[in-house]
Structure 1
Amino acid sequence: MSTASARRTNTSRAPSFPFDERDLDRFRELQQLSYACAQRVGDWLGPGITERQAAARLRRELVSEGVQDFFHVPFAWFGDRSAFRHFRTPLQFFPTGRRLEEGMPYVLDCAPVVDGYTADIGYAGKIGDNPIWEKIAFDLREYRELIVREVKARKPLAEVYASVDALIVRHGYDNRHRRYPGRVIGHQVTRMESRLPAGVTVFGFGARTLQTLGRELVSEPLHGRFPLWAGGRLSRHAPTPGLWAVEPHIGFRDVGVKFEELLVVTEDDAYWLDDDLPHVRRWEEGR
């Protein structure tokens, strides 16, 4: 479906951008904090450390910096689990006793909440040498550029998803974000307002998250939109103005690499909230 046809089939009025500059500053600060904590844990990682230890360390780092709640609890995936090999149920996403070994890739994922503001980030790394990881990590740059270019062009989200799939095929990699619940590559991020207690989690998600997401899953489809971004029918609409946590996750054999960061979508533009991030700096240094 073309952008024009998507607009014709969706007669609902698009919402206006819901945040001001102060809000964006708060989201940006929390995203920076999240990456800083993930980097500290990445620097601490070494052979013998387990996924559970890494996820617990990441949580402690975030809480020590004032994090009050979580969109979802911190995750850590080592080795072939960074590529979601043999994942069949959501329970397999939770950290395990898998230990890091020399040459292994890893992915850390966390989604802290402070004063209702949310960041959702993915930080990828490796222990020692891993040429396959190096190649995939550098190629991820093309996905970041592709996503913002096509969202800026107001292509339906399902079409952007298909473009990412096509690039994965051209590179000879595997789409690993298909393994996420709902096969999502991203989801909307709002400022959460809830009377539920902070810090309470249910099946890995914050209670406030589930309440907010539940409201959106009911209300957004009434306007021809959906808060989860995947490749199916529900994502065949123009990008909804707001913030989206976007996480292209690709793999080759037992190596998985991803980034996750916030994409700003306005009524007529799109841009990444911040370019001062570890994966962006790595690409710039690799020129």
Structure 2
Amino acid sequence: MKLVRFGEKGAEKPGAIDSQGRIRDLSGVVADFTPDVLTIEMRDRLTALDLETLPVVGGNPRLGAPIARTGHFIAIGLNYVDHAKEAGQPIPAEPVIFSKAPSSLSGPDDDVILPRGSEKGDWEIELGFVMGRHCHYVAQSDALSAVFGYVLANDVSERAFQIEGTGQWIKGKSAPTFGPIGPWLVTPDEIPDPQDLDMSLDVNGERRQTGNTRTMIFPVAELIAYLSEKMDLEPGDLVITGTPPGVGLGMRPQQFLKPGDEMHLTMAKLGEQRQKVVAFRG
């Protein structure tokens, strides 16, 4: 099942995509996709629904982030060998973990706003997953059963904020709109193998990234098991899993986002995103 949130920013409603690609309104079933309802039990209830009995949403509404919010927004760095090399970093022996502010979440086609003082905005296409149950010391063999669903993500970054100065990654990853996810939250019955998903990202019509999740250093099940050793994972937590090579930081010469640029992301079974880059005004 492909779950969405549709409508104007701040007033989104929950929905699902039917077999004909239309949005069906789920607001009579669930108020919103908030962490308290993003459980395996709710997922199973939703996937059992007959979508043909639910109201069709007319027009072409905006799609917001397919989850209303997340408790933890966890990111994995340097999880593809070639990306670690282009970043001039050693191949990690264990997952590199950092956070993004939950307030960075945005819709798949919303504008990406470069913050005041930004000089080195960058792109990173990534597979994301949303947890569906509490996990602490979960075994790899049980880890995928705890996933509510999978999403396409763009881990937008500001490299000067991230690397220069005190070099705290969260500072370069957390601006509003730096966490586009969606268009859909796809339940695992449609993603039998999260380690076999093709992905690509273009900037202004030119291919920048091409990859497949099979080349991740630490696959999803291993990430869940590892993270659950370091912290409690809870329903609604969002984890993005790293990016293949081709980011602006790794290009020679380096290339960074500027107002007017457009990004186009695609991932097998998880849909596509289109974002225009704009400057902060305020």
Q: What interval of TM-score do these two structures reach, taking the shorter chain for normalisation?
A: under 0.3
Higher helix content, 1 or 2:
1
Higher strand content, 1 or 2:
2
* TM-score normalised to structure 1 length: 0.26
* TM-score normalised to structure 2 length: 0.27
